[in-house]
Amino acid sequence: MLIIGERINGMFTDIGDALRNKDPKPLQYWAVKQEEGGAHYLDVNSGPAIPTEERVAAYEWMVKVIQEVSELPLVLDSTNYNAIEAGLKVCKRPAIINSCPVEQVKIERVFPMAIQYNAGLIGLTMDKQGIPKDAENRVAFAMELVAAADEYGLQMEDLFIDPLILPVNVAQEHAPEVLESLRQVKMLANPAPRTVLGLSNVSQKAQDRSLINRTFLAMAISSGLDAAIMNANDDELVDVAATCQILLNRSIYADSYLKVFRAR
């Protein structure tokens, strides 16, 4: 189970300010803190804090300052593929591109880029029309991403399918469909593609977010989730990820398994 720390995102005020002021400290603080929490990857997203024309330079800068304090590999999160490419060029370790929907133009741009930079790729089960409601259509989109990976020669293990979870308070019927999608995606190819979710989405503007997040995380992992973009500093949430490793027989049990999971 890979934990991708979500905190370095321009939507948060401290990161947004840091990006505008070119102040590396908040980015570096969260890089270290998320690693301590249990993150295996760091998501890097400028959000709308930076004007479009400055994004390319911003991503290069973000990657550089984060790598000054952290060895963790990065997940470059943007819809601006030039910005992602600028980031990939300075990444010291194989990164993950976040993300590519099922749109031919984008597939043609992003899959070759993933190959070129030896990067993983998060593929979204949606197209221009948006996110499908049912598992069947999500899986159909996933199959197109799998076929693209096969065509471009991207290793199936480097493709992360994101079946897109939506907030439970306004799109409640999506959660079971996402769980079913996770199960079916694993049968599309052998070896199977990996799976990822933007976990915190499930609890947007809902009560008891942490409880919702960790309950859904356990359900999703048991359905086949391999990675989650999530709050790596929610200790109870990380404990759930660690416990799932034990209960799915992926890590050998030890009394100190929570500690072992974080120590890696």
Partner 1 sequence: MALTGLDIYKQLPKKNCKECGVPTCLAFAMALASGKAALDACPYVTEAAREALNSASAPPIKAVKFGKDSVLGDETVLFRHDKTFYHPTTLLIHVSDTLSDDELRVKLQEIKNLEFERVGLHYSIDGVAVVNDSGDARRFAQVAAEMAESTDKSLVLLSEDPQAVKAALVQLVSRKPLIGAATAANYEAMVNLAKENSVPVIIRAEGLDALNDLVEKAQALGYKEFVLDPGSRTPVETLANLTHLRRLAIKKKFRPFGYPVIAFTGKSEPLEEIMEASIYVAKYASAVVLKTSSQAHLLPLMTLRQNIYTDPQKPIQVEPSLHSVGNVNENSPLYITTNFSLTYYSVEGEVETSKIPSYILPIDTDGTSVLTAYAAGKFEPEKITEAMLACGIADKVKHRTVIIPGYVAVISGKLAVLSGWKVVVGPRESSGIVSFSKTLSLS
Of 125, 62, 117, nearest to 95 (Cα)? 117
Nearest approach, Cβ of 190 to partner 1 (angstroms)? 5
Report how far residue 31's alpha carbon sits from residue 39's, in angstroms, rounded to the nearest whole number: 9
- Which of 129, 190, 207, 256 is the binder for partner 1 (CB under 8 A)? 190
DSSP-assigned states of every residue in 10-63: TTSHHHHHHHHHT--HHHHHHHHHHHHHT-SEEEEB-GGGS-GGGHHHHHHHHH
- Which of 76, 143, 179, 237 is the binder for partner 1 (CB under 8 A)? 143
Q: What 3-state DSSP class applies to 100?
A: strand
Considering beta carbons, is residue 16 or 123 the nearer one to partner 1? 123
Report how far residue 83's alpha carbon sits from residue 219's, in angstroms, rounded to the nearest whole number: 34
Considering beta carbons, is residue 171 or 189 the nearer one to partner 1? 189
* Binding region for partner 1 (CB under 8 A) out of 68-76, 126-134, 188-196, 223-231: 188-196
Nearest approach, Cβ of 99 to partner 1 (angstroms)? 20
Assess contact for 83 and 70: CB atoms under 8 A: no
Using CB under 8 A as the binding rule, whether residue 246 contacts partner 1 is answered as no
* Binding region for partner 1 (CB under 8 A) out of 39-47, 82-90, 186-194, 251-259: 186-194
Using CB under 8 A as the binding rule, whether residue 135 contacts partner 1 is answered as no
CA 107 to chain CA centroid, Å, is 18
Task: Spell out, one character per residue from 144 to 183, where the chain touches partner 1: x when CB under 8 A holds, - when not.
Answer: x-xx--x---------------------------------
Q: What 3-state DSSP class applies to 7?
A: coil
DSSP-assigned states of every residue in 109-126: HHHHHHHHTT-EEEEES-
Using CB under 8 A as the binding rule, whether residue 248 contacts partner 1 is answered as no
Residues engaged in binding partner 1 (CB under 8 A)? 139-140, 143-144, 146-147, 150, 187-190, 192
